[in-house]
Amino acid sequence: MSHALKQVFNKDKTFRPKRKFEPGTQRFELHKKAQASLNAGLDLKVAVQLPPGEEQNDWVAVHVVDFFNRINLIYGTISDYCTEQSCPVMSGGPKYEYRWQDEHKYRKPTALSAPQYMNLLMDWIEVQINNEDIFPTNVGTPFPKNFLPVVKKILSRLFRVFVHVYIHHFDRITQMGSEAHVNTCYKHFYYFVKEFNLIDTKELEPLVSL
């Protein structure tokens, strides 16, 4: 990890509090297993594969929470440069504009600035992953039928954070010397969603050149 990024991490400048896994739980053990694979320098295509004997939904849940934490950190490193003035529209270059929609205030897709979009997105994801009815933490509690649809929505929206950061703020990431970290995180995310078919190929087009 670059020195600049370490400084940011050490300041604990996270965009949101981290969701942690309770020690002793199956998810905690799976999280440790996933981290060990990454730390061992395994090929990311191999590291994302479901370990033998594990439940796919558990493996997916662990990764969704982990990606949420990591992408929060990445956005946190550039959030001072992502302002209403610099990014009045949540976009990925001139071809892609992302509008916000939810079940409360924004019932129709609404154009927002990037910082507004990010705030709403991170709040929304936090609610989902802390909802025991969607992400049950007790061993033996089954996942609901809508688990994968919710996961797909979370991941497709988190992907938009990568798109915005890469297209509009990569110069800042490069200045900090943290592009290798961001690239690895993106590759990990990309291989994971491809392995379990969690984002439509069409959605991935903005970063296909990567």
DSSP code for 15: S
Q: What angle do CA 22, 58, 125 make, to 5 degrees?
A: 75
Contacts of 200 (CB under 8 A, 6+ apart): 156
Task: Please return the burial class of 91, using the count of CB atoms within 10 Å of its CB with bins 0-12, 13-18 and 19+.
Answer: buried
CA pair distance 143, 148, nearest whole angstrom: 9
**Residue type for position 205:** E
Residue 185 marked in a binding site:
no
Residue 104 marked in a binding site:
no
Residue 87 marked in a binding site:
yes
CA pair distance 124, 2, nearest whole angstrom: 30
Structure tokens given for 6: 């370490």
Neighbours of 189 (CB within 10 A): 24
Q: How many residues does the chain have?
A: 210
Binding site membership for Zn(2+): which residues? 82, 87, 164, 169
